[in-house]
Structure 1
Amino acid sequence: MKVIAGLGNPTKKYEGTRHNMGFSAIYQIADRYNIKMNILNHKALIGTGIIAGEKVMLVMPQTFMNLSGESIGEILRYYKLTPEDLIVLYDDIDLDIGKLRIRAKGSAGGHNGIKNIIAHIGTTEFDRVRIGVGHKPEGRDLADYVLSRFSSEELPVVRDSVSKAADAIEVIITTGIDAAMNKFN
């Protein structure tokens, strides 16, 4: 089973913000594969289903971004899964809006949600799909920026990148992380 976790902040207040790109991608995947996000367990909203013949668990931690590892670590331990079974989707301010960057491992790169996951699972070796949300304008507060919404001009590009992130998940599951990196990076 693959655990596909999208990072974001719960509640309506944060819907559509840059920091919730992981949640947006999970909603896209759930819709595409007819997976109901209807289980509240392990501090997360969860849905289970099948993608390309593989059983998957879609996960949206409800702990708020900076504590995402609490939920993800608990899920991996409970189901006796390893970090190799984990794929994390999240926002990245170092990438232009609409760009994806797929990696099999790496540092947190300053992302507090990823830092917390690494702390809770004890490794940096898990697959990740970073979704570009644009660079923080100079002089703007980082928290204010990542909690802002996209402009109407940015929205079509954002929708396309979320769709591509869902495509990337299927490629990771069917042909592996290297194939996904070659196709989407």
Structure 2
Amino acid sequence: MSKYLIVGLGNIGAEYAHTRHNIGFDVVDAFVQKHGGNFKVDRLAEIAEVRWKGRIFVCIKPTTYMNLSGKAFKYWMDKEKLTPENTLTIVDDLALPISKLRVRPSGSDAGHNGLKDIQLVLGTDKYPKLRFGIGNDYPKGMQADFVLGKWLSAELPVIQKKIEACVTIIEQIATIGLEKTMNQANNLMFE
């Protein structure tokens, strides 16, 4: 039976809930909810196990805060005896417009502290990522406020569509593989 570690990046605490930076948590929540799973608090993360079409998805939301995401990632990857190839990290991306998603088998942290820590702990950038475009529509010097801010109400319909697409992407990676999923997902446009 194939097993995957699905890692949604975000920060714990009500003040961070549903902010741009926590989109990884929101995607993992949507995936687990769709498949009838429940989160419980465990070591370094909230965790839910989902079984679907003969596959197991170990879904985590690290409780280490964004900048120490690698600790939770590595702990659960080792505990579940998985390789980096059988993981998927969902992360917000300033460099992508709000209309885009991008799936990659590897790649740099692009200045994202959560990815930076995972890369440091793993010693490689070769682990699959699902980058959720959040755009970069903020005044100079206001990046932190933007990233930690809530979605604008006008953005919410697009964000909801993208979250649903991310749930499908997680399923597709497990059924048709990363390569085919990338070809489809990276061409999607959301309006």
In the superposition, the TM-score normalised over structure 1's length comes to: 0.95
How many residues get paired?
184
Q: Tell me, yes or no, if structure 1 residue 114 matches structure 2 residue 115.
A: yes
* Kept in 2: contact 1:7–1:61 (CA 8 A): yes
The whole-number CA distance in structure 1 between the counterparts of 2:137 and 2:74 is 30
Residue equivalent to 1:175 = 176
Q: Does structure 2 conserve the Cα–Cα contact (< 8 Å) formed by 1:6 and 1:23?
A: yes
Change (3 A) 1:52 1:127: farther
Unaligned runs of 5+ in 1: none
Superposed, 1:4-19 pairs within 5 Å as 4-19=6-21
Cα deviation 1:16-40 (Å, max 9, x = unaligned)? 10000000100110111111112x2
Instruction: In structure 2, give the amino acid aligned to 1:156.
Output: P
- Residue among 18, 22, 26 paired with 2:24: 22
Q: Which amino acid aligns with 1:33?
A: H
Whole-Å Cα distance in 2 between the matches of residues 23 and 127 of structure 1?
17
Q: How does 1:15-94 map to 2 (within 5 A)?
A: 15-38=17-40, 40-94=41-95
Equivalent AA in structure 2 for residue 8 of structure 1: G
SS state at 2:69 partner: helix
Offset, 1:138? 3.5
Structure 1 residues 146-181: Cα deviation after superposition (integer angstroms, max 9, x where no partner) = 000111100111111111111111111101111111
CA contact (8 A) 1:8 1:20 kept: yes
* Offset at residue 93 of structure 1 (A): 0.8
% identical aligned pairs: 35
AA aligned to 2:102 is: R
Q: What displacement does 1:136 show? A: 4.0
**Residue in structure 2 matched with residue 157 of structure 1 by the alignment:** 158
* Residue 133 (structure 2) pairs with residue 132 (structure 1): yes
Tell me the equivalent position of 2:189.
none
**Equivalent position SS for 2:162:** helix
